[in-house]
Amino acid sequence: MAAELYYQAIGTLQSHSHLNNFDHHQKRYNNVVTLVARDFVSSNGLSIRRSNRSGQRSCSVIRSLASQTSVVDPVLSPSRSNAGDTYKKSNEAALILIRHGESLWNEKNLFTGCVDVPLSKKGIDEAIEAGKRISSIPIDVIFTSALIRAQMTAMLAMTQHRRGKVPIIMHNESEQSRSWSQVFSEDTKKQSIPVIPSWQLNERMYGELQGLNKQETADRYGKEQVHEWRRSYDTPPPNGESLEMCAERAVAYFRDQIEPQLLSGKNVMISAHGNSLRSIIMYLDKLTSQEVISLELSTGIPMLYIFKEGRFIRRGSPVAPSEAGVYAYTRRLALYKQKLDDMFQ
C-alpha cells in the first residue's frame, strides 16, 4: 500500500465583501452555500480555520488519525477534540467509477480481455472528457487495474482536475521499487495522489477469444454461443473467466482494500474495465446475477456514489463538466466545489 501522506485542505469561505463583485444571482448562490456550510459545521461538530494574511485563504495540513490518513481535500476538517466521534457519526466519502476509454482493440472490434492494449485517439479524448466531468469532485486515492488502458484513463482524467494534484503510481512489487520511488519532499507529497494498480481489477480474461475479431468469432461459433460467453454470469469462454469468476476477485479486492479507504473518509476513484466494474456495481447496488448481465457501462463515463453510514448511494453520472446538479451533490460536495470556485476564479 502507499506510504502515509499528509495533505492540504481547501481554503475558507469567501468573505461577504468580496461577494459584492458578483451579480445578484451569484451572491444569492454563495450566501446559500455559506448558510449550508455553517449549518453543516454546527451540526457535525466541525471547525473552519481562517487566515486573512495578505488577503490569502489559509491551507491547513490534515494529519492522519490513528493509522489512517484523513480525507485528502476535505471541505471541512474535524476539530481535534472530537475527530474520532465526528468520523463515526458523519463520515462521508465519494466513490467514482470510470470504465477506461476506447482501446485500440475496441476500435478494431477485437476481444481484448487481459491483453495490455493502450487507448485509441478516441479513448484519449474520452478520458480527458471524463476528467472534466469529475474536476470538482474530491479525490484522495486512485485504484486502477494493472492494464495500461485503465491507467492511461486515470492519468489523463486527472490532468483536468481543478485541484491540480499529481497522480503518482505506487510501485510495491519489491523493496527496491518502493525505495527507488520514494518522495522526500513533504510539500510535494501534499500535492500528490497515490495511484494503486491491482491485477484484481483487470478485465475478465477472455481465454482463447483474446485477439479474435468479435464478428468473425460469432460467424465461427454462432451468435448464441458467443453471446452466452459474453453475457452469461457463470459460463466462461474456452480457458477464460466467467463474469462470476471475475466478480470473485474484483469484489474481494474492493472489500479488503478499497472499502477501508472509504470508511476512513477518503474519496476514491477506480479506473477499471467493463466486467470488473460491473462486478463492483453488482456488489454496491445489490444486483442479482440476472440483473448484472444486462448492465452496460459506456467507455469514459464516470459514475458517482456516496458512501455514508455503511451504505452506498448512487448519485448519477454527469452529463456536462460544469453542471453540478447532474451529480446530485451532497452538501459536502457542493461546498467543496464552491471552495474550488473561490480559489480558482
CB contact burial 136-159 (16+ within 10 A = b; e otherwise):
bbbbbbbbbbebbbbbbbbbbbbe
Helix 83-90 to helix 24-44 angle (10° resolution) is 110
Looking up cell 458523519 gives 90
Are the C-beta atoms of residues 270 and 258 closer than 8 Å to each other? Answer: yes
CA distance linking residue 221 with residue 238, whole number of Å: 12
Q: What angle do CA 100, 106, 111 make, to 5 degrees?
A: 110
Are the C-beta atoms of residues 50 and 311 closer than 8 Å to each other? Answer: no
224 is catalytic: no
Given the residues 92, 100, 126, 241, select the one marked as catalytic. Answer: 100
CA distance linking residue 64 with residue 24, whole number of Å: 41
Q: What angle do CA 2, 201, 192 make, to 5 degrees?
A: 30
Q: Annotated binding residues for substrate, as ranges?
A: 99-106, 112-113, 149, 203-206, 214, 230-231, 274-275
Are the C-beta atoms of residues 77 and 274 closer than 8 Å to each other? Answer: no
Q: Which amino acid is at 84?
A: G
CA distance linking residue 229 with residue 209, whole number of Å: 10
18 is catalytic: no
Are the C-beta atoms of residues 145 and 201 closer than 8 Å to each other? Answer: yes
CA distance linking residue 276 with residue 261, whole number of Å: 19
Given the residues 92, 126, 161, 203, select the one marked as catalytic. Answer: 203
Which of 269, 276, 207 lies closest to 248 in space, CA to CA?
Answer: 276
Non-local (6+) Cβ contacts of 210 within 8 A are: 111, 112, 113, 114, 115, 240
Catalytically active residues, by annotation: 100, 203
